[in-house]
């Protein structure tokens, strides 16, 4: 049986599309300047405890309310006279000292929802609508690529995961990749299959078209991914963590010159209801050492100043501990890291004693302000466009130089 060829993709409809004069221009403009900007989102799944990530050690209430899980004052990595990083975030200290790390304080949103799933949707969708259909980065991609369909590279990539809401746009969505080498190998195993016939009923079957769409994405993007993957190999040694492996794949694709601008990676296990002292530090260590390795890996890249990492998480955790862990909370602390970032603290830390009725902190920065800053300050779109994407106007924070 004959192995399938990529020429096959240029089936009749595809070829005629490329031959339309208005499309030749877009095709030539494959590398628009804005696409050189890269954003890597690291989702901390389960609700990261901001209070044990950045410790407000000068506030006595912290130690009073967390008798069982407070991080002891003598081990802290102090950043100023009020705040310190958790000792297992040591690997971020160098980046902080170079002035490339913004720490946003008290990030949350009004009427917080304490459900993991609802709050994840709210963050990924940047929306509090009852039903959320698209993600904020999906809407960003929709907007900057209006009308464009002839991508030769994936507009966005998610590593090791199912395509989630965050990259879902109306017209464009992200591609999920777990192991590029396997992708190349398997793709060579595939053989031709019967085309869908326009007279049949299968053309109207939504599920069939969905599956077909996925395969044609792979077919379309494969060459660009392969080229970048081969070119971007630096042999840099990452630590042996899952997140490190994912970030190393992202670094390799970026260094290889892939046009993709948006990347999403994930670290899960932050739902620390119990035994927080034994589980949370391990996750922080994985986060910090992976981020450090990522930036070292891309440090010899000429346009490394175009790469920014941002952390997100569906919520923070309760101020008062529950014996050995913490229940679901609200506001939390986040990091925005990279060459173009102006390091320092942004916002104001919420009070640990003036709490909402559930015993949770009152947020100071809306997470959509953080997104607005990324959209305008880093990805370079206008305030008006950012409002369109975020479904409302949110003041951005000037954290980019």
d(CA 38, CA 300): 16
Handedness of CA 291, 367, 54, 374 (dihedral sign): positive
**CB 68, min distance to another protein, A:** 9
**CB 186, min distance to another protein, A:** 4
Binding mask 16-55 for another protein (x = CB under 8 A): -----------------------------xx---------
With CA atoms as reference, report the closest residue to 35 among 144, 150, 137: 144
Binding mask 207-246 for another protein (x = CB under 8 A): xx-xxx-xx-xx----------------------------
**CB 178, min distance to another protein, A:** 5
With CA atoms as reference, report the closest residue to 9 among 177, 167, 178, 221: 221
Stretch that binds another protein, among 137-145, 179-187, 297-305, 383-391 (CB under 8 A): 179-187
Given a contact cutoff of 8 angstroms between Cβ atoms, the answer to whether 370 and 392 are in contact is no
**CB 348, min distance to another protein, A:** 25
Q: Which is nearer to another protein, 7 or 210 (CB)?
A: 210
Q: Which is nearer to another protein, 161 or 304 (CB)?
A: 161
**CB 395, min distance to another protein, A:** 29
Region for 255 from its dihedrals, namely left if φ exceeds 0, alpha if ψ lies in -120 to 50, beta otherwise = alpha
Q: Name which position in 196, 245, 301, 391 contacts another protein (CB under 8 A).
A: 196
CA distances from 366 to 46, 144, 319, 348, 393 (A): 19, 24, 19, 12, 11
Q: Which is nearer to another protein, 187 or 387 (CB)?
A: 187
Residues 249-288 interacting with another protein (rule: CB under 8 A):
268, 273-274
Given a contact cutoff of 8 angstroms between Cβ atoms, the answer to whether 312 and 72 are in contact is no
5 binds another protein (CB under 8 A): no
d(CA 212, CA 311): 33
Stretch that binds another protein, among 256-264, 295-303, 319-327, 362-370 (CB under 8 A): 319-327
CA 95 remoteness from chain centre: 19
Residues 59-98 interacting with another protein (rule: CB under 8 A):
none
**CB 283, min distance to another protein, A:** 14
d(CA 311, CA 323): 28
Residues 152-184: b if buried by 16+ CB within 10 A, e if exposed: ebbbbbbbbbebbbbbbbeebbbbbbeebeebe
With CA atoms as reference, report the closest residue to 192 among 14, 12, 10, 1: 1
Given a contact cutoff of 8 angstroms between Cβ atoms, the answer to whether 325 and 272 are in contact is yes
**CB 229, min distance to another protein, A:** 15
| CB contact set of 92 (below 8 Å; sequence gap of 6+) | 85, 101, 288, 291, 292, 335, 337
Q: Name which position in 80, 194, 235, 302 contacts another protein (CB under 8 A).
A: 194
3-state secondary structure of 250: helix
With CA atoms as reference, report the closest residue to 267 among 251, 285, 249, 253: 285
Q: Which is nearer to another protein, 112 or 232 (CB)?
A: 112
**CB 42, min distance to another protein, A:** 17
Binding mask 100-139 for another protein (x = CB under 8 A): -------------xxxxxx---------------------
Binding site for another protein (CB under 8 A): 1, 45-46, 113-118, 160, 162-163, 175-178, 182-183, 186-187, 189-197, 199-202, 205-208, 210-212, 214-215, 217-218, 268, 273-274, 322-325, 327-328, 357-358
């Amino acid at each position: 049986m004959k192995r399938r060829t990529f020429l096959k993709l240029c089936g009749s409809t595809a070829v005629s599309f490329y031959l339309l004069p208005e499309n030749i221009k877009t095709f030539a403009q494959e590398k628009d300047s804005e696409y050189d900007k890269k954003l890597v989102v690291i989702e901390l799944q389960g609700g990261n405890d901001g209070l044990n990530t950045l410790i407000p050690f000068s506030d006595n209430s912290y130690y009073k309310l967390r008798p069982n899980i407070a991080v002891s004052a003598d081990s802290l990595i102090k950043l100023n006279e009020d705040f310190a990083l958790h000792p297992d975030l040591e690997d971020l200290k160098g980046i902080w000292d170079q002035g490339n790390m913004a720490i946003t304080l008290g990030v949350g949103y009004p009427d917080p929802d304490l459900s993991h799933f609802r709050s994840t949707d709210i963050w990924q969708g940047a929306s509090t609508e009852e039903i959320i259909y698209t993600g904020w980065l999906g809407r960003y991609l929709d907007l900057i690529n209006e009308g464009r369909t002839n991508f030769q590279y994936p507009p966005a990539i998610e590593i090791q995961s199912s395509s989630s809401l965050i990259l879902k746009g109306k017209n464009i969505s992200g591609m999920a990749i777990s192991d590029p080498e396997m992708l190349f190998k398997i793709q060579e195993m595939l053989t031709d299959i019967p085309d869908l016939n326009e007279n049949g009923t299968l053309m109207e079957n939504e599920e069939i078209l969905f599956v077909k769409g996925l395969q044609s994405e792979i077919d379309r993007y494969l060459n660009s991914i392969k080229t970048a993957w081969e070119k971007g190999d630096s042999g840099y040694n990452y630590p042996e963590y899952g997140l490190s492996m994912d970030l190393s794949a992202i670094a390799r694709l970026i260094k290889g010159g892939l046009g993709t601008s948006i990347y999403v990676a994930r670290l899960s296990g932050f739902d620390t209801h119990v035994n927080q002292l034994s589980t949370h530090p391990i996750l922080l260590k994985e986060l910090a050492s992976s981020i450090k390795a990522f930036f070292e890996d891309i440090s010899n890249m000429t346009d490394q100043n175009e790469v920014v990492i941002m952390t997100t998480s569906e919520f923070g955790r309760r101020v008062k501990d529950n014996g050995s862990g913490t229940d679901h909370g609200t506001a939390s602390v986040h990091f925005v890291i990279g060459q173009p970032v102006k390091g320092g603290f942004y916002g104001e830390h919420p009070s640990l004693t003036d709490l909402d009725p559930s015993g949770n902190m009152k947020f100071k920065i809306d997470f959509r302000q953080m997104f607005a800053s990324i959209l305008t300050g880093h990805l370079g779109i206008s305030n008006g466009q950012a409002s369109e994407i975020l479904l409302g106007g949110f003041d951005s924070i000037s954290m980019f130089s």
